[in-house]
Structures are given as structure tokens and as C-alpha cells.
Chain A
Amino acid sequence: KQEVTQIPAALSVPEGENLVLNCSFTDSAIYNLQWFRQDPGKGLTSLLLIQSSQREQTSGRLNASLDKSSGRSTLYIAASQPGDSATYLCAATNNAGNMLTFGGGTRLMVKP
């Protein structure tokens, strides 16, 4: 059974800092790995999707990496802004593509 863990559970940084969020998964036989942003009371917003054959994806100030062999993914946020404050979730899709397993999330606060 896939287990996804996110560390840290909460993070507070001053504006402008670069930061890394970590996601680890126990079963490396994944179809893809996704990173999402969640604002309170809102649905998830997809940030980045990394297919199992890929090593990283970039979008703006965000960069996500995937290392299947070690069961890890990281989300790098450059030059953080107060608007980046949210909960960030990673989720691994199983090989059959029909099951998502979510991590517990990292609650990020970027202080002005």
C-alpha cells in the first residue's frame, strides 16, 4: 500500500526566501506525481505534474523534481511571496492510473 509523507508539516519563512518542500512515497511504481496548492475553503489547484519517466518540471518560480528510486519528490519555490501562503499537497498516482494517494500537506506561511 502506497504511503505518502510530506515534511515539514508547517513552514514559516520571510518573504523572498527560496524554500523546498519534501514529499516521499513508499512504492516507487508510480504513474505520476503531482503537486497541488490548497487555499482554505477552496478546491485544489494543480501546480506541476511529473510523469514517471520525467525527472523534473518547472513552472514560473516553481520547480518540482522526482527521484523514483529513492521515493522522493521536492517542490522548490524561488523568491517566495506572501501570496504563496497556502497548503501544498503532493499526490502519487499508482501504476494502473486509478488511485491517488495524497500526502498530509505542508502548510506554508510567507511573512511580509
Chain B
Amino acid sequence: GAVVSQHPSRVICKSGTSVKIECRSLDFQATTMFWYRQFPKQSLMLMATSNEGSKATYEQGVEKDKFLINHASLTLSTLTVTSAHPEDSSFYICSADRIHDGETQYFGPGTRLLVL
């Protein structure tokens, strides 16, 4: 149990377009989902915390209007990179906190975004 999926696993897009990444908890409900990104040779960094039915909380330096997060249900959160630019190319990974189990996060496999 406790599987988190991400879709797509890889995406290549043109500069200026928007890209949506989905994060799903397949066999459990998640009160909270987290979005991270990792640039080459850098550590995984938290971007935002998303609670179902409320606005996401963004970390300092992360533009909320550029990285739109929607957490419409207890099993789905989406991250939309709007007007993507080459510097947004990165590895994006989500994780989910299972209800009643806030001490364990379950991670998705990640999405590799390449903006040309």
C-alpha cells in the first residue's frame, strides 16, 4: 500500500507553454501533499505544501503565480508550471501524507521537465 504516482514521468515543452503535472495517492487519502524540485547537482528543495480544499503554502522564493497548485481532492494534487522557461527545467517530485499518519511521507517517482 501507500503508492503515489506522478504523470507524466517526462515532458518536453516549448518555452512559453504551460505544463501540468499530476500527483495521485493511489490507495490512500492524503491530507497534505508536498511539491519539490531538484536542479542538477543541487539538493531536493520543497516548493510548496498543499492541503486539500485550501490554498497552497509556498516556500520563500517560489512564485505562486508561476507554479499553480490545485489540491481538489484527497487523492489528487496538480502542479502547473505556467509560461515555462528553460530555467524551469528540473526534476519535480511530489509526496503525500497519509491521513492519520502524518509522520510518514510517500513519494512519487518524479517528473522530468525539459523546457526548450
Q: Report which A residues bind B (CB closer than 8 A).
A: 32, 34, 36, 38, 40-46, 49, 51, 87, 91, 93, 97-100, 102, 105, 107
A97 in complex: contacting residue of B49, B91, B104, CB < 8 Å: B91
Q: Which chain B residues in 85-116 approach chain A with CB under 8 Å?
A: 91, 93, 95, 97, 102-105, 107, 109-110, 112
A-B contact pairs, 16 of them (CB 8 A): A38-B103, A40-B103, A41-B97, A41-B102, A43-B46, A44-B34, A44-B36, A44-B95, A44-B105, A49-B42, A49-B43, A93-B38, A97-B40, A98-B110, A99-B110, A107-B103
Q: Report which B residues bind A (CB closer than 8 A).
A: 32, 34, 36, 38, 40-46, 49, 59, 91, 93, 95, 97, 102-105, 107, 109-110, 112
Question: Which residues of B have CB within 8 Å of A43?
Answer: 34, 36, 46, 49, 59, 95
Chain B, interface SS category: strand
Chain A, interface SS category: strand
Known: A32-B41, A46-B43. A100 touches B93 (CB 8 A): yes
